[in-house]
Structure 1
Amino acid sequence: MAEKTKPEGEETEAKGGKKKLLVIVAVLLVAVGAGAYFFLFSGSGDAKAAAPEKGAVEVLDPIAVNLAGGGYLKIGIALQLTADAGEEKPDGSEALDIVIASYSQANPSDVITARDALKEALEKKIVDAYKEDGKEIVMGIYLTQYVTQ
């Protein structure tokens, strides 16, 4: 039987064509990935302009909260007000009520190990509670005391 062989020129052209195709596909994938990153993750300047401006800080008296699994937590918070809050300081009793409601359901181990997660959830609740007419009065909280026993 006679073997069919390709001339050497055709074989190298086929390999060269596959390499070119592979390079083009790789370049296209990189371009698509960069475009997706640009559109999905590179927020516009409007988002930064919409962020509220920092105002005064209202320090609230520390309180002791009985924890669900026994023990207690002495916690103090300060409210970071927005510039829209004006000169009048908000009443901190609502924030303290939210602190008591949030932390009285926590176990002592949660208070120690999940401190950042608990603070984040507390901050969201307080910021949401201090919205008036669609304006944020409080934009964040700071923990000024955090002692558990």
Structure 2
Amino acid sequence: MSKDKDKDKKDEGTEPKKKSKKLLIIILAVVLLGGGGGAYFVLGSSGTSAPTPGKVLALDAVTMNLTDGHYLKLKLALQTTSSASADLDGSKALDLAVAQFSNKTVAELSSNQARETQKSELKEKIGKAYDEEVMDIYLTEFVMQ
């Protein structure tokens, strides 16, 4: 019996260590999962999702002077967000477009890449001017003479 008692004591001595390791692993898993879930909640749902599109506001065409006696006829449309006010005025957008494209050379606006660069700069300015109520712009008419 003394051998059985010694064996029982050895078993009793090893089980708490196994339980403490299991408990430690479980606690670490809970902490990691909780931290991951918290990070997802804070970073994932921080409002950085894309805005929902609203109405498209077509603006009147505007003609502006380029350098060397050339002209640009530009027509814009503003893609508003669903949270944009119903009476959005396009005057600020047209003013920014005239400032963006006026006095450029025909060569500066002739390539697709140059137009896209100018358009992206204009989109950023319009987004700031309208407090993020405009999510995109469309150049519906772009004629140089």
- TM bracket, shorter-chain basis: 0.5 to 0.7
**Moved beyond 3 Å, runs of 4+:** 44-49
Unaligned runs of 5+ in 2: 1-42
Q: What is the TM-score when the length of structure 2 is the normalising length?
A: 0.64
Secondary structure of the structure 1 residue equivalent to 2:60:
coil
Rounded Cα–Cα distance in structure 1 between residues aligned with 2:70 and 2:82: 38
State the 1:70 CA deviation: 2.9
Unaligned runs of 5+ in 1: 1-43
State the 1:108 CA deviation: 1.1
Q: Does structure 2 retain, via aligned residues, the 8 Å contact 1:58–1:89?
A: no
Secondary structure of the structure 2 residue equivalent to 1:61:
coil
Between structures 1 and 2, the one with greater helix share: 2
Q: Does structure 2 retain, via aligned residues, the 8 Å contact 1:78–1:143?
A: yes
Rounded Cα–Cα distance in structure 1 between residues aligned with 2:125 and 2:84: 18
- Give the corresponding residue for 1:100: 98
Does residue 77 of the first structure (1) align with residue 76 of the second (2)?
A: yes
Counterpart code for 2:74: I
Secondary structure of the structure 2 residue equivalent to 1:115:
helix
State the 1:107 CA deviation: 1.1
Structure with larger Rg: 2
Rounded Cα–Cα distance in structure 2 between residues aligned with 1:130 and 1:120: 15
Rounded Cα–Cα distance in structure 2 between residues aligned with 1:143 and 1:65: 15
State the 1:122 CA deviation: 0.9
Rounded Cα–Cα distance in structure 2 between residues aligned with 1:47 and 1:141: 25
Secondary structure of the structure 2 residue equivalent to 1:50:
coil
Q: Does structure 2 retain, via aligned residues, the 8 Å contact 1:70–1:107?
A: no
Report how many residues are paired: 101
State, as a whole percentage, how many aligned pairs show the same letter: 43
Q: Does structure 2 retain, via aligned residues, the 8 Å contact 1:69–1:106?
A: no
State the 1:145 CA deviation: 0.3
Does residue 122 of the first structure (1) align with residue 122 of the second (2)?
A: yes
